[in-house]
């Protein structure tokens, strides 16, 4: 019985289009897929295997870690450290670069990841996910340093996320459009179900954490107020507001039906330039969104053009349907 195109078949067929491809990149993607399957199983079983709740520890961001934050981080490391495709890894949950142990061969790629985005939602059974990005390792020989990872988002070789919701999906771009795969648990394979995903240029849906309204800058306040005024306001149409507190879930909704997601610059904590991490969240999601025909900006600059300054740098994020993102950017430019 024909089961459709598996993600392994899809990746291999893409590899065949690249002259001189060695198969290293394909094998790395397959290892990431395996990690996402293992994480999906852990998330789905939840309290049945005792992985719910928080730990008495914080990550480098000063955030209380969930048990699953630590478990999923270890899953990603163990799935990807041994095969010889990576030179090093960096994670939202680790202070410093993770060097490939000396007992394993070292490869030519770097992997950055957020092992469980939206983990504050796990105890209430709301969708969470994994975000990853692949970069080429500059130079050769010596162990990569943090500076090796500080590459603009335009240098990403691939980016993707896994969504652990009503079904488990993996969405991937290698710079040639965006494709979505759904996990068929009966056969243990991701199957291509959402080919060539595109984001509508226009939308009537926005996502923002409205509890921070008093801290927003003027351009964001203006944009949101105009959306709330609906048909009686300057936009002359009604908008819906959404907020999941899981970036993976927010971006996936935008990929499926359009919308705009905003975690803008605000004055809530003047020491932080933004909420979301450039390397682990903003860059990979911006790559995906742009490949699907959307746009992504800090409000002042295209995110993929930013030169990272640190492993855990935070930035404002405004992404989604192109025309709406451009409107928010235009409001920033006016001020």
Q: Bigger pLDDT: 25 or 58? A: 25
Tell me which residue of 323, 304, 299 sits closest to 221, measured CA to CA.
299
Q: Bigger pLDDT: 13 or 249? A: 249
pLDDT for 271: 86
Can you name the residues that pair with 172 across neighbouring β-strands? 160, 179
Structural contact between residues 181 and 7, judged by C-beta atoms closer than 8 angstroms: yes
**Residue 116 annotated as part of some ligand binding site:** yes
Neighbours of 289 (CB within 10 A): 28
Q: Residue with structure tokens 């950017």?
A: 329
Residue 116 CA to residue 120 CA, distance in Å, equals 9
> In the chain, where are the structural domains located?
7-194, 205-334
Task: Examine the pLDDT at 121 and tell me if it is beyond 90.
Answer: no
Structural contact between residues 260 and 205, judged by C-beta atoms closer than 8 angstroms: yes
**Residue 20 annotated as part of some ligand binding site:** no
Per-residue pLDDT tens over the stretch 227-239? 999 999 999 999 9
* Sequence-separated (6 or more) residues with CB below 8 Å from residue 137: 87, 88, 107, 108, 109, 110, 144, 148
pLDDT for 6: 95
If phi over 0 gives left and psi between -120 and 50 gives alpha, with beta otherwise, what is residue 207?
beta
7-194 placed in CATH 1.20.1050.10? no
**Residue 209 annotated as part of some ligand binding site:** yes
* Highest CATH level, class, for 205-334: alpha beta
Structure tokens at 210: 């409205």
Task: Examine the pLDDT at 62 and tell me if it is beyond 60.
Answer: no
**Residue 41 annotated as part of some ligand binding site:** no
Helix/strand/coil for 21:
coil
Can you name the residues that pair with 241 across neighbouring β-strands? 206
Per mean pLDDT, which range of 17-21, 59-63, 159-163, 293-297 is the poorest? Answer: 59-63
**Residue 142 annotated as part of some ligand binding site:** no
**Residue 310 annotated as part of some ligand binding site:** no
Per-residue pLDDT tens over the stretch 268-286? 998 888 999 999 999 999 9
Task: Examine the pLDDT at 107 and tell me if it is beyond 90.
Answer: yes
User: pLDDT > 70: what percent of the chain?
Assistant: 92
**Residue 147 annotated as part of some ligand binding site:** no
DSSP string, 237-250: S--EEE--S-HHHH
Instruction: Give φ, ψ of 240 to 5 degrees.
Output: -105, 145
Residue 328 CA to residue 226 CA, distance in Å, equals 11
**Residue 117 annotated as part of some ligand binding site:** yes
Residue 107 CA to residue 118 CA, distance in Å, equals 30
Task: Examine the pLDDT at 200 and tell me if it is beyond 90.
Answer: yes
pLDDT for 151: 98
Can you name the residues that pair with 318 across neighbouring β-strands? 262, 297
Per-residue pLDDT tens over the stretch 15-27? 887 776 678 999 9
Q: Bigger pLDDT: 97 or 272? A: 97
pLDDT for 120: 83
- How crowded is the C-beta side of 213, counted as CA atoms within 13 Å? 9
């Amino acid at each position: 019985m024909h089961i459709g195109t598996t993600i392994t078949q899809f990746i291999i067929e893409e590899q065949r289009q690249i002259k001189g491809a060695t198969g290293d990149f394909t094998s790395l993607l397959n290892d990431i897929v395996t990690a996402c399957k293992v994480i999906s199983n852990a998330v789905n079983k939840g309290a049945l295997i005792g992985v719910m709740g928080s730990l008495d520890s914080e990550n480098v961001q000063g955030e209380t870690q969930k048990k699953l934050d630590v478990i999923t981080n270890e899953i990603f490391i163990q799935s990807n450290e041994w095969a010889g495709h990576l030179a090093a890894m960096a994670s939202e949950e680790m202070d410093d670069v993770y060097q490939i142990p000396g007992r394993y061969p070292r490869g030519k790629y770097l992997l950055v990841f957020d092992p469980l985005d939206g983990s504050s939602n796990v105890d209430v059974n709301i969708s969470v996910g994994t975000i990853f990005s692949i970069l080429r390792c500059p130079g050769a020989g010596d162990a990569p340093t943090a500076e090796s990872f500080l590459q603009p988002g335009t240098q990403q070789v691939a980016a993707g996320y896994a969504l652990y919701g009503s079904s488990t999906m993996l969405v991937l771009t290698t710079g040639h459009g965006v494709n979505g795969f759904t996990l068929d648990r009966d056969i243990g394979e991701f199957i291509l179900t959402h080919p060539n995903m595109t984001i509508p240029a226009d939308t009537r849906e926005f996502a923002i954490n409205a509890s921070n309204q008093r801290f927003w800058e003027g351009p964001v306040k203006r944009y949101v107020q105009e959306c709330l005024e609906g048909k009686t306001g300057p936009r002359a149409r009604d908008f819906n507001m959404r907020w999941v507190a899981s970036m993976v879930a927010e971006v996936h909704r935008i990929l499926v039906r359009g919308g705009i997601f905003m975690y803008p610059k605000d004055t809530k904590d003047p020491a932080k330039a933004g909420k979301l991490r450039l390397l682990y969240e903003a860059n990979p999601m911006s790559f995906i969104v742009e490949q699907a025909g959307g746009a992504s900006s800090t409000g002042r600059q295209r995110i993929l053009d930013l030169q990272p300054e640190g492993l855990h740098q935070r930035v404002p994020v405004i992404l989604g349907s192109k025309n709406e993102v451009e409107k928010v950017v235009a409001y920033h430019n006016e001020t």
